[in-house]
Amino acid sequence: MKNNKGKGLLGLLCLLIAIGLFGWFGYDTLQKSKLVTDVSGISSYQEGGIKLGLDLAGGVSITYRAVEDNPSAEDMSDTRYKLQQRVQNYSTEAEVYQEGNNRINIDIPGVSDANKVLEELGKPGSLQFMDESFQTVLEGTDVASARAMSYKDQQTGAVSYEVALTFTDEGAKKFADVTAANVGKRIAIVYDNMLYSNPVVQQAITGGQASITGLSSFEEADQLAATIRIGSLSLELEELRSNVVGAKLGEEAISTSLKAGAIGFGIVCVFMIAVYLVPGLAASLALCLYAVLMIILLAAFEVTLTLPGIAGIILSIGMAVDANVIIFTRIKEEIGVGKTVKSAIKTGFSKAMSAIIDGNVTTLIAAAVLYWRGSGTVKGFATTLAIGIVLSMVTALFITKFTLNSLYEMGFTDKKFYGVRKEKTPINFLGKRTVFLAVSAAAVCIGFVGMFMNRSSIGGAFNYSLDFQGGTSTNVTFNEDMSLERISAEVVPVVEGITNSADTQTQKVAGTNEVIIKTRTLSVEERQALDAALAEKFGVDESTITAESISGAISDEMKRDAVEATIIATLFMLLYIWIRFKNIRFAASAVIALLHDVLVVLACYALAKWSVGSTAIACLLTIVGYSINATIVIFDRIRENLRLAEPKKDLVQIVNVSITETFTRSINTSLTTFIMVFVLFIMGVSSIREFALPLMAGIICGTYSSVCLTGALWYILSMKQAKKPAAQK
């Protein structure tokens, strides 16, 4: 026994050392996640820190202008979308939006050296293929891709470098026709009026590929390939200006979010220990390790963290807590049927395995599809969610188990330290299914009514933010250096007094007194009133204030990508559930419940006129992931009880028993996740509250649908399926 106590103590000591060690690295990572400004006013990130997004820490803002005098709206939109795809190499959270009628602005978070970005990004120039009469026969828009290549001559050992080009389908046909008509002649490859290659055409080239040779290094080839990828834009662009800009939310938002996260996490740990005793302590220690490892991994994978990314982390923390709750509930049940604590721990982990794996893998599939097909906010959300899910599974299934066994070996062997799950009388959830379905249908219908009414009152189904509908960008040069806190406390109220809207974004240009103020679209009168108010309040020179209309940072193409990604992710989740549960009715019920949750939360957005922007997309995706995980836990119990049931099984009884057995888990998991978000809501600044409020609504809705609707939906579909063979007899 003493030997076992020694092993248990040693195991616990090793875990505490690991938490302390990784905790120190995590703290150091957070300290390095802040911009450091040198004496010259240039800000930079330290190596090893987490890159924070524009909303949390700022970044680089670059403005390009179309060389063409009057570019078409279609060309501007196409160019903006292609630039969005390009700058995601720097950050999935980069924003690209139109300014005026011929300018495109790029905001790249997580970087601070504008010159380096411009050098790496390359100047969006003009790629042309010209025949000997100097007529352009192909252009950059005919190129689908460009990549750097290197070749080594086997005889001489000399290395040559080139850029391999692949044409679009239309470009390949053009290239085949042009080369066929110019056999024996030269076709020059010109980029930004510089001749890079001038080969003689030996024969018609029908493969849709070409190459630019004669480059001196792989770096030169790689740089040219990168700029050519931009050169395939619909418009030729020139740099107008570049700045380092401050955070949209300010230092206060970051500090309060960190404090709120720490307080919320502490409350969750206290709750777990109070409810689950020794297992709760084991879970809390495992969650501490999860938290510090998450910080380190975000830095290691160079993830740019923004509010949507925080949503992904909150969801993964909820799933980590949920996995522990499922395990502990199983342990209590095993103790309740008379097993020893040691046997109950082993069996509890074994029985909880299927629900944990199915729930996490389903959400991981969704994250993978969202990353693959999504862009911008969606991709950033998917990245943090995927890292969090993998880490939460590891900590729940291995670290919690290791810690719990160590505590047991130390002497915590009495059943009173683990609790006993007593038999409960099944609650008749299915008996109230008509009421539940009616309430849900009414909520969805009311939401549609609210959307319809909003069209006449605010001009759209929802209160779209700047991210969606654009607005006005006003550049103001103050007479003194304005801190972010002063801007938030003094400037923003003046702006909102003119706009009568809380949707105001401000950014400070580093090293200057210039502040960028983004608001809803202002009329000429409102612009004049704002200029006058700023001059009166802060003494700025009205003649230096400039204003331009800007497009939304979320383009129509990005919206389409988000919708397509969500649909594909849902289909893959449906397929996985169908295969794992060997029953299409489980999958169909889960998808219907997901649709219900999204529609109800959208109803909240419409009725409360919450601002719909990039964070709204992340909120809805979080709700989808949360809901599917809760649903799978109930379905896993139904599947298990179906296997244990008599041949003449009563489906009503099985569903009611299954929901009752998982009811405590559903409430406790929802409560812990809700606590995390609620503390953010209480302590956060207005933009944080705007983000937290829909999440709280989604948690409540997801809990309601998983407990009250999914079992009922599965039962209804099962009874319809059972009636078909009977009707055919």
Q: What does CATH list as the number for 127-232?
A: 3.30.1360.200
pLDDT value, residue 245: 66
Q: How many other CB atoms sit within 10 Å of the CB of residue 654?
A: 22
Q: Which two tokens stand for residue 492?
A: 């923003």
- Give which of 602, 643, 639, 636 is closest to 619, Cα–Cα: 602
DSSP notation for 105-145: EEEEET---HHHHHHHH-----EEEE-TT--EEEEGGGEEE
pLDDT value, residue 402: 92
The kind and range of the H/E element at 564 are: helix 556-581
Beta carbons of 421 and 336 less than 8 angstroms apart:
yes
pLDDT value, residue 712: 92
Angle at 702 between CA 696 and CA 706, to 5 degrees: 155
DSSP notation for 422-490: ---PPP-SGGGHHHHHHHHHHHHHHHHHHHHHHHHHTSSSSEE-HHHH-EEEEEEE-SS---HHHIIII
Burial zone of 416 (CB within 10 Å; 0-12 exposed, 13-18 middle, 19+ buried): exposed
Under 8 Å CB-to-CB from 422, ≥6 apart: which residues? Answer: 336
Integer CA distances (angstroms), 545 to 136, 358, 496, 501, 697, in order: 43, 56, 17, 21, 41
pLDDT value, residue 133: 86
Low-confidence ranges of the chain (pLDDT < 70): 1-3, 32-49, 53-58, 85-86, 89-90, 92-93, 110-126, 192, 226-234, 243-254, 307-308, 311-312, 315, 374-377, 510, 553-558, 647-648, 685-687, 721-729
Tell me the three state secondary structure of residue 614: helix
Beta carbons of 400 and 324 less than 8 angstroms apart:
yes
Integer CA distances (angstroms), 527 to 466, 476, 497, 502, 561, in order: 17, 12, 12, 17, 34
Q: Where along the chain do its domains lie? A: 127-232, 251-415+430-445+556-722, 471-550
Strand-strand pairing, 304-305 and 463-464? unpaired
Strand-strand pairing, 304-305 and 51-52? parallel
Cα–Cα distance for residue pair 45/690, rounded to 1 Å:
28
- Give which of 614, 701, 641 is closest to 666, Cα–Cα: 701
pLDDT tens across 501-545, in order?
A: 777 878 777 677 888 888 888 888 888 888 888 888 888 888 888
**548-584 as b/e: b if 16+ CB within 10 A:** eebbbbbbebbeebbeebbebbbeebbebbbebbebe
Cα–Cα distance for residue pair 497/477, rounded to 1 Å:
20
pLDDT value, residue 282: 92
Cα–Cα distance for residue pair 657/225, rounded to 1 Å:
62
- Give which of 378, 293, 355, 330 is closest to 624, Cα–Cα: 378
Amino acid occupying residue 630: A
Cα–Cα distance for residue pair 692/689, rounded to 1 Å:
5
- Give which of 479, 507, 481, 477 is closest to 492, Cα–Cα: 507
CATH architecture of 471-550: 2-Layer Sandwich (3.30)
DSSP tag of 186: B
Residue 32 main-chain phi, psi, to 5 deg: -80, -5
Cα–Cα distance for residue pair 462/452, rounded to 1 Å:
9
Amino acid occupying residue 429: F
Compute the Cα dihedral for 424, 425, 431, 432 and give only its sign: negative
Cα–Cα distance for residue pair 93/53, rounded to 1 Å:
7
Beta carbons of 565 and 374 less than 8 angstroms apart:
yes
| End-to-end CA, the chain | 66
Cα–Cα distance for residue pair 547/550, rounded to 1 Å:
9
- Long-range (24+ apart) CB contacts under 8 A made by 451-456 are 451/602, 451/606, 454/606, 454/609
Q: In terms of residues, how long is the chain?
A: 729
Q: Which two tokens stand for residue 406?
A: 């160590």
- Give which of 620, 687, 694, 676 is closest to 258, Cα–Cα: 676
pLDDT value, residue 233: 67
Beta carbons of 684 and 256 less than 8 angstroms apart:
yes
Q: Which two tokens stand for residue 81?
A: 């979308």
Under 8 Å CB-to-CB from 96, ≥6 apart: which residues? Answer: 80, 81, 83, 84, 87, 104, 105, 106, 107, 553, 555
Angle at 498 between CA 494 and CA 504, to 5 degrees: 70
Under 8 Å CB-to-CB from 402, ≥6 apart: which residues? Answer: 11, 15
Cα–Cα distance for residue pair 554/560, rounded to 1 Å:
10
Q: How many other CB atoms sit within 10 Å of the CB of residue 183?
A: 11
Q: Which two tokens stand for residue 627?
A: 């809901």
pLDDT value, residue 40: 37
Q: Which two tokens stand for residue 712?
A: 């009922």
Q: Which two tokens stand for residue 403?
A: 């810690």
- Give which of 268, 298, 304, 302 is closest to 286, Cα–Cα: 268
The structure tokens 């409350």 sit at 267
Under 8 Å CB-to-CB from 678, ≥6 apart: which residues? Answer: 264, 692, 696
pLDDT value, residue 439: 94
Q: How many other CB atoms sit within 10 Å of the CB of residue 206?
A: 13
Q: How many other CB atoms sit within 10 Å of the CB of residue 442?
A: 10
Cα–Cα distance for residue pair 211/478, rounded to 1 Å:
52
The kind and range of the H/E element at 148 are: strand 143-152
Cα–Cα distance for residue pair 99/102, rounded to 1 Å:
7
Cα–Cα distance for residue pair 267/30, rounded to 1 Å:
22
Which residues are 164's β-sheet partners? 147, 211
- Give which of 191, 195, 194, 197 is closest to 236, Cα–Cα: 191
pTM: 0.72
